[in-house]
Amino acid sequence: MQQEKETEQQILDAVDKFLIKIKPTVHQLEADDEYPEEIVAQMQEMGLFGAVIDPKYGGLGLSVRTYAKIVERIACVWMSLTGVFNSHLIMAMSVQRFGTQQQKDKWLPLFASGEMRGALALTEANCGTDLQSIQTHAKRVGNDYLINGSKTWITNSLHGSCFALLVKTNPNENPAHKGMSLFIAPKGPGFKMGKALKKLGYKGIDTAEFFLDNYALPTENLIGLEEGHGLQHALGALALGRINVAARGVGVASAALKDSIQYSQLRKTFGKPICQHQSIQIYLADMALRVEAGRLLVDSAAVAFDKGERCDMEAGMAKLFATEAAMKNSTEALRIHGAYGYSTEFNVERYYRDAPLLAIGEGTNELQRIIIAKQLIEKNPL
């Protein structure tokens, strides 16, 4: 246990040093909406693309609890960066948890090294939360599947090279999820990139659409080699994504709090620093409570995940609370900063733009409430 704590601290110290180095460049990169090639290369060198991948496949093998702490720290400096390896690791987790041994041996070393990077590709133009409504479909032809359809709002799609692709292998199945499958899908013939999508926040990281036109995949790329389990495989890996997004929420909420504490001691009105005004003090106290409560919920979900327990309720609670904390704290930070909060010279307006994505991504917060309620009923029957 002691050795595990020491290893975790060494990793967190390395992340902190990395963040100190890149922090001066973040503001301009975000403003220019420029993909941070050099920073991503440094993250690859640090092993972050293999953070939770088993060491026998070349990963760091970190606990999700440690991983969440890394995510929080990075999101506190620039939330966009966390999306680069989060989306990638959800893809990797789908293979690690549900793939065959042959699939793990082939793909996980490539994912862990960052040689192949990508994402989980679920969303379509008319389908986000309701994944059973996807239209992308695959037809078995000999030893291949021919896939047609499209995906959108896929992080890493421009700079990535491989995706965990959710499709319908039997569109007529009822219920629909029994006809869905998840594939390991590297870019190739028939895989056509569409446009990059412009966003309110989450700048610097590519989010785009792509189209599949008779895109062929060998049957060996079907995760688990058995059709009909794709939705379960995607949702099983998505629990990691929700913990990541929750940790991002804590990071953004924490950044908003830190900036507000600092600014409130510098800014003076009516002859004294504004931190001495009760209204500002109330803001700061509530912001701090949200950060600490969000952090504890994230930790609870991460511990459950590490134990191999079902954690959709815990991950949903963490994701819901922490991302709403980011929304609220970024708004209150903007108010504390006044006109300067509205200025692009300060980071506060970035937190205000980044936070809404967290309330939407990896399952809307409305969906999280439904998941939580259903689990409460299931765990407390009459």
Q: Does residue 358 sit in helix, strand or coil?
A: helix
* 3-class secondary structure per residue, 220-232: HHEHHHCCCCHHH
What is the rounded distance in angstroms from the CA atom of residue 355 to the CA atom of residue 358? Answer: 5
Same domain as 160, residue 69: no
Q: Which of 363, 294, 285, 286 is nearest to 323 (CA)?
A: 294
Same domain as 278, residue 251: yes
Same domain as 374, residue 352: yes
Residue 56's beta-bridge partner residues?
none
Residue 138's beta-bridge partner residues?
147
Same domain as 364, residue 270: yes
Residue 377's beta-bridge partner residues?
none
What is the residue-wise DSSP string for 74-95?
Answer: HHHHHHHHHHHHHHHHHHHHHH
What is the rounded distance in angstroms from the CA atom of residue 284 to the CA atom of residue 243? Answer: 25
Query: What integer pLDDT is reported at residue 2 of this predicted model?
Result: 65
Q: How many domains does the chain have?
A: 3
Same domain as 238, residue 315: yes
Per-residue pLDDT of 180-195, as tens digits, reads 999 999 999 999 999 8
Per-residue pLDDT of 276-289, as tens digits, reads 999 999 999 999 99
The domain that holds 298 is classified in CATH as: 1.20.140.10
Same domain as 176, residue 268: no
- Is the bond preceding residue 175 a cis peptide, omega within 30 degrees? yes
Query: What integer pLDDT is reported at residue 245 of this predicted model?
Result: 97
- Containing structural domain, residue 297: 232-379
Residue with structure tokens 């108010």?
335
The domain that holds 200 is classified in CATH as: 2.40.110.10
Query: What integer pLDDT is reported at residue 315 of this predicted model?
Result: 94
**pLDDT band at residue 22 using 50, 70 and 90 as cut-offs:** very high
Residue where one domain finishes, among candidates 197, 230, 263: 230
Of the residues 124, 309, 362, 366, only one is catalytic, namely 362
Which contiguous run of DSSP H or E holds residue 185? strand 180-186
Per-residue pLDDT of 110-161, as tens digits, reads 999 999 999 999 999 988 778 889 999 999 999 999 999 999 999 999 999 9
63 backbone dihedrals φ, ψ, rounded to 5°: -70, 155
Same domain as 47, residue 185: no
What is the rounded distance in angstroms from the CA atom of residue 79 to the CA atom of residue 351? Answer: 9
DSSP 56: G
Query: What integer pLDDT is reported at residue 238 of this predicted model?
Result: 87
**pLDDT band at residue 3 using 50, 70 and 90 as cut-offs:** low
Query: What integer pLDDT is reported at residue 8 of this predicted model?
Result: 84
Q: What percent of the chain has pLDDT over 70?
A: 99
Query: What integer pLDDT is reported at residue 130 of this predicted model?
Result: 84
Q: Quick check: 356 pLDDT over 80?
A: yes
Same domain as 370, residue 239: yes
Report CA Rg, the chain: 21
Contact 322, 297 (CB under 8 A): yes
Q: Quick check: 5 pLDDT over 80?
A: no
Q: 179: buried, middle or exposed (CB in 10 Å: 19+, 13-18, 0-12)?
A: buried
Contact 221, 204 (CB under 8 A): no
Q: Quick check: 326 pLDDT over 90?
A: yes
Summarize the confidence of residues 230-250 as an average pLDDT.
93
What is the rounded distance in angstroms from the CA atom of residue 300 to the CA atom of residue 252? Answer: 19
Residue 362 appears among annotated catalytic residues = yes
